[in-house]
Chains A and B, each alone.
Chain A
Amino acid sequence: MPLQTSPLRGIHDERGAKFTEFGGWDMPVEFDSIQVEHAAVREDVGIFDVSHMGQIHVTGPDATELMQRLTSNDVERLGVGDSQYAAITDEDGIILDDTVVYRLPDENERPTYLFVPNAGTDEATHERWISYRNEWGLDATVDNRTDEYAMFAVQGPSAVDLVESRTDESVGELERFEARNATIDGVECWTARTGYTGEDGFELILPWGAAEKIWAGFDCQPCGLGARDTLRIEAGLLLAEQDFDPEADPRTPYEAGIGFTVALETSFVGRDALAELEAAGVDEKLVGFQLIDRGVPRHGYDITTVESRVIGTVTSGTMSPTLEKPIGLGYVPVEYAEPGTTLQVVVRGQSKKARVETTPFIDTV
């Protein structure tokens, strides 16, 4: 199957970006250097093309109930312009995906939502919503609009000033996870104070056809998926298919450290399994660690006790550009999850000393 491409594929190519396949999309991994792009976001501002993220639109009389029953968080808490992070779980409470759910304004005041599944999961998610809607006999329209919307993330300490300078309406007073429509160059953009770097900033969801025009007006460092990965690891944020994978490494929100997305007082697919797990406690959980010895931890490396007994696997790892230290995430039994615990990571056959750290590794918003 040919890879899907962002509306900015040609623009990125002209700018000298390197590309990588991610979730079935051909996306820029690096424009200048991961370190340069990473530093821009931590110290100033950078812009990411995240048009590979899915967009599913849900509206109709029963839209709230459908969203409530298919996402782990409490959708009824959302006023118009609010958003929330949530998990999508199966009957066993296993994370199928993580997502941000936005409650959109609607001129007819119908409940209307847009949620953003991960790259490559939009079709399966759309089918899941349709299938459950039909099974439950709910009155809601579900549209997959991934090919209609581009998405940009403008992130960093200077991001708010930059976005404010481009929007006709003020957006600087929006709280974290608040959003509104704002006009940039005559184009209405859904402008949300969200992002996945640990920094302040906005995510803009805009019509596919306006992507080039809006992107061109942002005079700041373009950033690729490489920097997005190092930034999100430092912030202790999960990457789908790496830090959780329903096929290869099934995990629940409690194991993955996103128990805060689980509203057990609501009724959703997976709720009963998660209620049991919450009462019983988890056996394993995701921890952050720093390598004390020289080396770089990578996805798939074994985590062992100091006696070299294998107890877990690295799910994500990198040399942290901010801390200049090798850091990673991985699942270990809860008795080894306390910050300060000494572990080992097996790097190409050699045991390297590691220490469990509190996440996020850096201060985040």
Chain B
Amino acid sequence: MSFDVPDDRRYLESHEWALETDGVVRVGISDFAQDELGDVVFVELPDEGETVAQDEEFGVVESIKAVSDLYAPVAGEIVAVNDALFDAPELVNDDPFGEGWMLEIDSENGEQLEELLTADDYRDQIA
């Protein structure tokens, strides 16, 4: 089975993706991760205005069969949370790189993104 791995973003070994636009980093989980989890039924996310450190746990995604922690790809303030997931957690399965995004972090340190896996690195990891 082949999984979608867009080249426009970076990845964590723990299967989150990070997409930077003007210093704001949008975060979600990969196609591979949503497939491994199966039907996503619940997403627990922090509130806007909270801050996270890089690699810090910021929330939880639950499928029917498993619970998985979510880790922050960069440090910073959470400036947006995808409220749509509270009523429609299945968006994570349906569109993990688009409508299924989870939160946006105003990145304190632009270089942190460079420490993450490239799309090629991540493809190797899940191969």
Contact = CB atoms under 8 A, between A and B. Distances in A.
A205 to B, nearest CB: 27
A263 to B, nearest CB: 37
A28 to B, nearest CB: 13
Contact of A226 (B65, B67, B86): B65
Nearest to A38: B64
B38 A33 contact: yes
Contacts of B65: 29-30, 34, 226, 229
Interface stretch (A70-78, A113-121, A173-181, A291-299): A291-299
Contacts of A321: 39, 64
Interface string A11-32: 0000010100000000001100
Nearest to A348: B60
Contact of B42 (A33, A229, A230, A296): A296
Interface string B61-93: 011110100000000000000000010000000
Contacts of A348: 60
Contacts of B127: none
Interface of A: 16, 18, 29-30, 33-35, 226, 229-230, 294-296, 298, 318-319, 321, 326, 348
A15 to B, nearest CB: 12
Nearest to A324: B41
A295 B44 CA distance: 8
Interface string B29-71: 0000000001101101000000000000000101111010000
A350 B1 CA distance: 38
Contacts of A226: 38, 64-65
Contacts of B44: 294-295
Overall SS of chain A's interface: mixed
Contacts of B64: 34-35, 226, 230, 318-319, 321
Contact of A35 (B39, B42, B86): B39
A34 B44 CA distance: 21
A30 B38 contact: yes
Given A16-B1, A35-B64, A226-B65, A295 B39 contact: no
Interface of B: 1, 38-39, 41-42, 44, 60, 62-65, 67, 86
B39 A34 contact: yes
A306 to B, nearest CB: 22
Contacts of A16: 1
Contacts of B38: 18, 30, 33-34, 226
A229 B66 CA distance: 13
A32 to B, nearest CB: 10
B67 A319 contact: no
Contacts of A229: 65
A319 B41 contact: yes
Nearest to B63: A34
Given A226-B65, A348-B60, A296 B1 contact: no
B45 to A, nearest CB: 11
A35 B39 CA distance: 7
A298 B42 contact: no
Contacts of A294: 42, 44, 86
A321 B65 CA distance: 12
Contacts of B39: 33-35, 321
A34 B39 CA distance: 7
A82 B111 CA distance: 71
B100 to A, nearest CB: 15
A295 B63 CA distance: 11
Contacts of B63: 34
B60 A319 contact: no
A229 B64 CA distance: 10
A295 B42 CA distance: 7
